[in-house]
Amino acid sequence: MKIAMVGSGYVGLVSGACFADFGHDVVCIDTDQNKVDRLKDGVMPIYEPGLDQLVANNVAAGRLSFTTDLAQGIDGAGAIFIAVGTPSRRGDGHADLTYVHEVARQVGDTLSGDAVVVTKSTVPVGTGDAVERIIADSGTAHKVSVVSNPEFLREGAAIGDFKRPDRIVIGVEDDFGRDVMREVYRPLFLNESPILFTSRRTSELIKYAANAFLATKITFINEMADLCEKVGANVQDVARGIGMDNRIGPKFLHAGPGYGGSCFPKDTLALLKTAEDYDSPTRIVEAVVKTNDSRKRAMGRKVIEALGGADAARGKKAALLGLTFKPNTDDMRDSPAIAIAQTLSDAGVEVTAYDPEGMEQAAPLLPQVTMCDDPYTAIEGADVVTIVTEWDAFRALDLNRVKDLAKAPVLVDLRNIYDPQDVRAAGFAYTGVGRA
């Protein structure tokens, strides 16, 4: 089947390359000429493990191509995916649907045959109805079914998540849409990946509910971590102890500096907005958003404490290891590192940093931070070393070298990747998260 993927950002590109790998004929469309030119040259606009190879293989096999021409890209496509951005609208946090609506208009105007139009972008409940209306208003004579098919890809693990999903959710209102989507996902169907067919509105809500629930789980364990520090308990053991209960499960219970990224912060805000619009408050999610926001600066204050408090910290130097919101990505969106670095600078602390992939994205966001070429250069002369993101490269630092280079042997481990006993035995003062 020919598939058109409108929007070649993170979701569109990964999904398009994976569909091509299943054997479909995929055209990725984007308005950004520069991005399309670079993709044609094999240059990825994002860092995602394995993506460059997957794209290269499928381009070479003639199953994947790129264009800025929407009409040409969707010509003859059985399924047209909308995978454009839905950023938080400035002012009210609602998902900005400008791009989604614009694509729907263009699809309606240029459609050359019957097609299923699939919203893959994360869109508020009712967006499928709006897309359907916009396409109908174009007066197209072709049969169109509008379907919701949210993505659950994690950055850094997106290809694996796409090919071996926990589930595929498809919100569809008619048989035409259902049949085409079965064909689109046939390879996964044969793999026995569970496919859940629901109504379109239900599917749209599932995406928000999933992300809000995961954000809640993280925020819950982060608050338990704070309590552990006060009562003298260990949050990792608490997480293990509750996670062994099958009803709770062990995942997403790693205490840390708070969640960030392109999805959780934006989607929780959008869910709050929808809940408000429908006069059905989601108090738990409200608390999660507030708690997570304040946690990021609180982590900066934790580093200041490790420097001996606000007065002692002024004029000292802090090295941040890891800047991206999580490892294996270059994504800085809503990364806790931004608030942490800001809190430190506000307190008069000089900040150096190193990140394996994120420094290019981080530099304009953190102009006050000195970016270094490797972790040890960042550590040179530092009064405190802080692990912000759990990149593998930081899991086995040469602690003796760190001690020699740093001005003071102080380690703040915001991801709990070190054993406190080992670090203390190496002569460091150690602060973790929720490990009294």
Would you tell me which residues interact with ligand UDX (CB under 6 A)?
151-155, 211, 214, 218, 252-254, 256, 259-264, 325-326
Task: Pick the closer one to ligand UDX by CB: 154 or 403.
Answer: 154
| Selection from 431, 389, 392, 411 nearest residue 257 by Cα | 389
Strands (E), 289-409: 317-321, 350-354, 370-371, 384-387
The pair of structure tokens assigned to 235 is 């949050």
The least distance separating ligand UDX from the CB of residue 143, rounded to whole angstroms, comes to 30
Give first-to-last CA distance, the chain, whole Å: 57
Task: Pick the closer one to ligand UDX by CB: 119 or 262.
Answer: 262
Give the CA-trace dihedral at 17, 19, 24, 26, to 10 degrees: -50
The least distance separating ligand UDX from the CB of residue 60, rounded to whole angstroms, comes to 28
Task: Pick the closer one to ligand UDX by CB: 108 or 256.
Answer: 256
The least distance separating ligand UDX from the CB of residue 252, rounded to whole angstroms, comes to 4
φ, ψ of residue 175 to 5 degrees: the values are: -70, -35
Active-site pick, 18, 228, 263, 372: 263
Kindly state the helix (H) or strand (E) to which residue 430 belongs, with its residue range.
strand 429-431
Closest residue to ligand UDX, Cβ-based? Answer: 263
Task: Pick the closer one to ligand UDX by CB: 35 or 207.
Answer: 207
The least distance separating ligand UDX from the CB of residue 233, rounded to whole angstroms, comes to 18
DSSP 396: T
The pair of structure tokens assigned to 140 is 């197209």
Pairing mode of beta strands 79-82, 370-371: unpaired
Asked if 5 and 12 count as a contact pair (C-beta separation under 8 A), the reply is: yes
- DSSP letters along 120-148, please? -S---TTHHHHHHHHHHHTT--S-EEEEE
The least distance separating ligand UDX from the CB of residue 66, rounded to whole angstroms, comes to 23
Task: Pick the closer one to ligand UDX by CB: 63 or 326.
Answer: 326
The least distance separating ligand UDX from the CB of residue 286, rounded to whole angstroms, comes to 18
Residue 263 is a catalytic residue: yes
Task: Pick the closer one to ligand UDX by CB: 145 or 268.
Answer: 268
| Selection from 323, 218, 322 nearest residue 268 by Cα | 218
Q: Which of the residues are catalytic?
A: 263
